[in-house]
Amino acid sequence: MNCGYVALIGRPNVGKSTLMNHLLGQKLSITSRKPQTTRHRILGIKTTEAGQAIFMDTPGMHSDEKKVLNRYLNKTADSTLLGVDVVLWLLDGLYWHEYDEKIFQKLERAGLPVILVVNKVDKIKDKDAVIKFFGEAQKKYPFQHIVPVSALKRTNLELLEQHIMALLPEAELIYPEDQITDRPERFFVAEIIREKLTRRLGDELPYALTVEIERYEEHPELCKIYAAILVERDSQKSIVIGKQGELLKKVGTEARVDIEKLIGQKVYLELWVKVKKGWSDNERALQSLGFNDIG
Question: Same CATH fold, 185-288 and 2-167?
Answer: no
Q: Please compute the mean of the pLDDT values over residues 278-284 and round it to a whole number.
A: 66
**245: which DSSP letter?**
G
Which CATH code fits 185-288? 3.30.300.20
Sorting pLDDT into bands at 50, 70 and 90, what band is 295?
Answer: very low
| Distance (Å, whole) CA 98 – CA 118 | 17
**What average pLDDT does the segment 46-69 reach?**
76
Map out the domains of the chain as residue ranges: 2-167, 185-288
Per-residue confidence (pLDDT) for residue 138, from 0 to 100: 93
Q: What is the pLDDT of residue 248?
A: 94
- Residues 59 and 80: their CA atoms lie apart, in Å, by 10
Mean local confidence (pLDDT), 94-103: 82
Check residue 294 and give its pLDDT. 37
**What pLDDT, on the 0 to 100 scale, is given for residue 252?**
96
Query: 40-54, 59-73, 107-121: lowest mean pLDDT where?
Result: 59-73
d(CA 17, CA 37): 9
Q: Distance from CA of residue 255 to its chain's centroid? A: 18
Edge-to-edge order in the sheet of strand 145-148: 42-48, 51-57, 2-9, 86-91, 114-118, 145-148
Domain spanning 2-167 has what CATH number?
Answer: 3.40.50.300
Task: Work out the pLDDT band at 66, boundaries 50, 70, 90.
Answer: low
- The CA–CA distances, whole Å, from 134 to 19, 178, 256 equal 20, 37, 44
- Write the pLDDT tens digit of every residue in 203-252: 666 566 888 899 999 999 999 999 999 888 888 888 889 889 899 999 99
The CA angle 30-52-100, to the nearest 5 degrees, is: 55
Model pLDDT, residue 64: 55
Overall pTM surpassing 0.85 (yes/no): no
Residue 254 has pLDDT above 60, yes or no: yes
User: Binning pLDDT at 50, 70 and 90, where does residue 61 land?
Assistant: low
pLDDT digits (tens, 9 = 90+) for 18-41: 898 899 988 887 665 555 555 567
